[in-house]
Amino acid sequence: MKYYNLKSEECSRIEWDSIFYNNKKKFVKQEMAGDYYISTVFLGTEHPNGEGILNIFETMVFDSYDNDNGKTGNEIKFLRYDTIEEAREGHEKVVKDMKEGVESLKYFRIM
* Residue-wise pLDDT tens digits, 46-101: 876 666 668 899 999 999 888 888 899 999 888 999 999 999 999 999 999 888 87
- Whether residue 107 is predicted with pLDDT greater than 60 in this model: the reply is no
Between 109 and 61, where is the model more confident? 61
Q: What share of the chain is helix, strand, coil (3-state, %, to 5)?
A: 25, 35, 40
pLDDT score recorded for residue 110: 41
What is the C-alpha to C-alpha distance for residues 98 and 35, in angstroms, rounded to an integer? 9
